[in-house]
A = this chain, B = another copy of it.
Amino acid sequence: MKNNKLPQGFLASGLKCGIKNNDYDLGLIQFKQPYRVVGFFTSNLNVSYSVSLSRKNIKNPIFAILVNSGNANCFSHNRGYQDTEDIVKELAKKLDIGKENVLIASTGIIAKKLPKSKITKNIPKLIKDLENSPKKFAKSILTTDSCTKVISKTISFGKKKVKITGIVKGSGMIKPNLATMLAFVLMDADINLGILRKNAKEAVEKSFNSINIDAAESTNDSLFLVSSKKVPLTKKEEKRFFLEFQNIMVDLAKLIVKDAEGATKFVQLDLKGAKTVKEAKRLAEKIAGYVLFKAALYGSNPNIGRIIAVLGQEKIKLNKNDLKLKFNSFAKKNINIAINLKRGRYSWRVYTCDLSPEYIKINAEYN
């Protein structure tokens, strides 16, 4: 990564605290001043204690985001939420900020107690190690991911430069409505909170809400977006900024699908000719999540019967000439599929992958 510095106003760190056997599992992002954060969380009703706490704190100005991997901090024991508060309190004390000015995110196995003292013991070192690179932090948030996932982009407006850095994790339990993923998008352009929220919502729909690995929605998904407001933009510059922003969000989402557990193929699927956008999105998601379609992808087997069957299951009645299917080749590593239902003029694009025997093995053994 040549562009390996964080945007102005942010520092990050990561280390091995012992939740995992011998791997990075604790990370911190610190803001130089308190900034307001836009957050998106899982719509699963059984959520991590970390999600519950962050949902509460996100209305406050934020100074720091703490993350652990290797443990979902969810449904583990009756004092789970209090333990989470204790951890956050300890970090706040060491940073000399209020405990209400901290966010926390967790990812990993559900229903196991988070080893609180392993985290609190390592907070001083985590603070000491803060640097203006995302590198160690990006390592500290991974679970079954095979690589770190960071995209940094500098956008120039004449001599003025702004920067966006997105750091994500995720490779299994991925379906629309976010995914088993954590994402941190940091920027130094001075963006108004309401405008950021509006643009983020739209971008999330087209990125993290349009990927599907296994139709499984996690208890922990969290996406945080934050601007340090260092570089003011004109309205025109802001417009271009958000075009780039949306591309980065889509590229971050694609990184997750490309690293999907056991996947051997990356698929861009366009569902066209639907009656409404909602219908297009629903059907694209259903096809992308259909086990038999994903098995056919794995086998490089363009079994269109699978698409006909899942559309009928979703109550879309097709006549022989209704369906128009275009694809490059099921044998490639990158497959583009366009399905035209010829019912209307709306379309939606999703990103998905095949389902391989390796996926089953990874998830059979995960603990």
A contacts, CB < 8 Å to B: 44-47, 72, 74-75, 77-78, 80, 109-111, 172-173, 214-219, 290-292, 295-296, 298-299, 301, 303-306, 308-313, 315-318, 320-321, 355-361, 363-367
Output the nearest chain B residue to A177 by Cβ-Cβ distance.
B313
Residues on B with C-beta less than 8 A from A291 are 214-216, 291, 355, 363
Complex: A355 Cα to B360 Cα, angstroms: 7
B364–A45 CB distance below 8 A: no
The CB with the most chain B CB atoms within 10 A, among A215, A290, A309, is that of: A309
B320–A109 CB distance below 8 A: no
Complex: A159 Cα to B361 Cα, angstroms: 56
Taking the closest CB of chain B, its distance from the CB of A67, in whole angstroms, is: 19
20 A-B contacts, Cβ less than 8 Å apart? A44-B309, A44-B312, A45-B311, A46-B316, A46-B317, A46-B318, A47-B312, A75-B305, A110-B304, A110-B305, A214-B291, A216-B290, A216-B310, A218-B309, A291-B363, A292-B363, A295-B359, A295-B363, A301-B365, A303-B366
B361–A357 CB distance below 8 A: yes
Q: A292-B214, A299-B365, A365-B301 are in contact. Are A308 and B360 (CB under 8 A)?
A: no
Taking the closest CB of chain B, its distance from the CB of A229, in whole angstroms, is: 36
Q: A301-B365, A318-B46 are in contact. Are A309 and B360 (CB under 8 A)?
A: no
Output the nearest chain B residue to A363 by Cβ-Cβ distance.
B295
Complex: A27 Cα to B317 Cα, angstroms: 29
Residues on B with C-beta less than 8 A from A308 are 46, 74-75, 110-111, 219
A295–B364 CB distance below 8 A: yes
A216–B46 CB distance below 8 A: no
Residues on B with C-beta less than 8 A from A310 are 216
Residues on B with C-beta less than 8 A from A321 are 78
